[in-house]
Amino acid sequence: MERFTWTAVILLVKLVVTSAETNCDQSSSVWLQDRENGVGCEDQFPSCGYTLRPLTDVFGAEVVDVDLSSLDSSCASALRQEAYMYKFLLFRDQDLSWQDQIRFTELMGTPFMETAAVNRKFHPKVPDGRLGYFSNDPNEGLQGQGTEGWHVDGNIVSVPHKFTIIYCVSASKNGPTLLVPLKQIVDMLSPEERTFLDTISFVSGHNSSVVNPLIYKHPDTGEDTIMLALGILSGNYIQKQENGEEKVLSKDETKYIQDILEAKILGSNLIYSHQYKSKDLLLLNNPSIAHIAGPGSQSAVEFSGLRLMHRSTVRGEKPPSKKTSIQYACDTFAPHEDGYCLFSLKDSVFYPRYGVFDTKDVARQRCEGVNAHADLAVIPNKKWNDVAKKIIARTRVPHWINGTNSSDDYVFWSDIKSEFTNWNEGQPNDNDGPEECVMVGPFGAWYDIPCAPNSKEGADPGPVITWEDGVRRKYNVFPLCGVKEVHL
Ligand SMILES: *[C@@H]1O[C@H](CO)[C@@H](O)[C@H](O)[C@H]1NC(C)=O
Ligand SMILES: *[C@@H]1O[C@H](CO)[C@@H](O)[C@H](O)[C@H]1NC(C)=O
Ligand SMILES: CC(=O)N[C@H]1CO[C@H](CO)[C@@H](O)[C@@H]1O
């Protein structure tokens, strides 16, 4: 017993040390910008000099002032995170040879060999198996690609692609790519539809051995998403019966399911139609959006001019699953009396730049998105603050908790006054006007802060604080979630 305990302690110490060392790795989504006092992350997160302009309120951003042909790997890493956050990125006026496109694709991950796709013929003009050429002119590229129905790419392999890269060599007069964010489509399902669709598995129309849950958790963000590939891209879906048996649905039953999804998409008011100009490049975080080549993409060259797209894709890594890979603290810490578990979303929400992070309300939704019964953490006593502290120490970033600072230095959980608080010295201080929300700093002490990034002119949007280690740094605030163990 004694020895066992010590092993556990040593393991824990090792774990903490390792994560401290890797704190500045490229997957870190915090951008430390304080040159004077920064702790060495800047080298991995240089300013890449680009500016982002959101394209809609919900998804998509144009990246201005970046040349993809000379991108380095650290800026590629920053752009990957932007792509997770915005779901798709648009780059204009990019002069890219096909070699440049392959290089950019490799910076995003492992390129997928187009020749491995069962549904595609190899076009003679294509110089490399990692590219597909799509056109309305059969001499220039394959026709009719991407028009089959709303889809995510890689629906013919067991793991859908992580990124899709569409480079427009020549834009026709019409022929947009239409895009829609999938989490929002899942959110539109009624509870009955959701319960029904949760029993369904997608089957690829080109390979009936490719079977995946229709609704699943995005492998990187943990958000709900859909293995969507409508029309001939779908085979007959499979339904899990109440008795646990699997039934292959008929064509009509499958069509009924596809109609539910397509009706939501068309009625969503969220379709973004990208009208190409030559030299546009779209980077899609493929699992989080569905797309389709819009009407006009196949119009005859003599009327609409040449449309020529060079497409490449990046392999997915994790097979679609209804479970997230997010670690609940119940795995490593004994749950308290009520069987409560904590988890951080630090590695599954992406705030690539300083000052761009979610409000407390959206952070609550993110917890709920991972587990329907989860919410921001409630920290009722020292024991749970110690657990929170350990989780947060691994991430070294501040986290929202669900408390509100509704009077003096008390904290309220919903309307229950907390017996316990862990304010840092001088807190709460309502530094920037009323600060009604509470975060746990990177070392476990509490601070009052506004419930959203500060938008006052001249103010720092996120917390810039001299933390308990005496170093002044800028941070974004991440969700610390809690859920009862019975709901895991
Ligand atoms: C069909 O998918 C299965 C499972 O991913 C794979 O092993 C098989 O090679 C695929 N068949 C073809 C023709 O691609
Ligand atoms: C979190 O706080 C909100 C109010 O801000 C409250 O409605 C909700 O019930 C709280 N959640 C938990 C688990 O206490
Ligand atoms: C909304 C609210 O009442 N905020 C309080 C948080 O705590 C500080 C410090 O005690 C008060 O001054 C605020 O009024």
The answer, yes or no, to whether residue 333 has pLDDT greater than 60, is no
Overall domain count for the chain: 2
Residue 24 has φ and ψ, to the nearest 5°, of: -100, 20
> What CATH number does residue 262 fall under?
3.60.130.10
Give yes or no for a contact between 156 and 274, defined as CB atoms under 8 angstroms apart.
no
Whether 10 maps to a domain, the answer reads no
Whether 42 maps to a domain, the answer reads no
**Does the Cβ of 413 fall within 6 Å of ligand 2?**
yes
Let me know whether 259 and 222 are in one domain.
Answer: yes
Boundary of a domain, candidates 271, 299, 325: 325
Whether 252 maps to a domain, the answer reads yes
Three-state DSSP at 384 gives: helix
**Average pLDDT of 364-369?**
94
Using the mean position of ligand 3's atoms as its centre, give its distance from the Cα of residue 358 in Å: 22
What does pLDDT average to over the chain? 87
227 burial (CB, 10 Å; 0-12 / 13-18 / 19+) is buried
- Under the banding of pLDDT at 50, 70 and 90, the label for residue 433 is confident
**Average pLDDT of 5-12?**
41
Nearest Cα residue to 230 out of 197, 254, 252 = 254
The answer, yes or no, to whether residue 108 has pLDDT greater than 70, is yes
**Does the Cβ of 455 fall within 6 Å of ligand 3?**
no
Residue 109: other Cβ atoms inside 10 A: 17
pLDDT at residue 320, rounded to an integer: 97
Among 384, 404, 414, the mutation site with the greatest number of ligand 2 atoms within 8 A of its Cβ is 414
* CA dist 113 → 4, 130, 138, 416 (Å): 48, 5, 21, 57
Whether 24 maps to a domain, the answer reads no
The answer, yes or no, to whether residue 119 has pLDDT greater than 90, is no
**Average pLDDT of 307-323?**
96
**Does the Cβ of 378 fall within 6 Å of ligand 2?**
yes
Summarize pLDDT for 62-103 with one digit per residue, the tens.
999 999 999 999 899 999 999 999 999 999 999 999 999 999
Q: Domain range holding 346?
A: 340-484
**Average pLDDT of 187-207?**
97
**Does the Cβ of 434 fall within 6 Å of ligand 3?**
yes
**Average pLDDT of 19-32?**
37
pLDDT at residue 328, rounded to an integer: 86
The answer, yes or no, to whether residue 25 has pLDDT greater than 50, is no
pLDDT at residue 374, rounded to an integer: 95
Report the pocket of ligand 1 as residue ranges, CB < 6 Å.
118, 158, 207, 209-210
- Under the banding of pLDDT at 50, 70 and 90, the label for residue 34 is very low
The answer, yes or no, to whether residue 31 has pLDDT greater than 60, is no
Three-state DSSP at 377 gives: coil
Tell me, rounded to whole angstroms, the distance of Cα 127 from its chain centroid.
32
- Under the banding of pLDDT at 50, 70 and 90, the label for residue 334 is low
Let me know whether 300 and 376 are in one domain.
Answer: no
Let me know whether 232 and 190 are in one domain.
Answer: yes
Using the mean position of ligand 2's atoms as its centre, give its distance from the Cα of residue 413 in Å: 6
- Under the banding of pLDDT at 50, 70 and 90, the label for residue 410 is confident
DSSP 188-204: TS-HHHHHHHTTEEEEB
3-state secondary structure 417-476: ECCCCCECCCCCCCCCCCCCEEEECCCCCEEEECCCCCCCCCCCCCCEEECCCCCEEECC
Give yes or no for a contact between 314 and 469, defined as CB atoms under 8 angstroms apart.
no
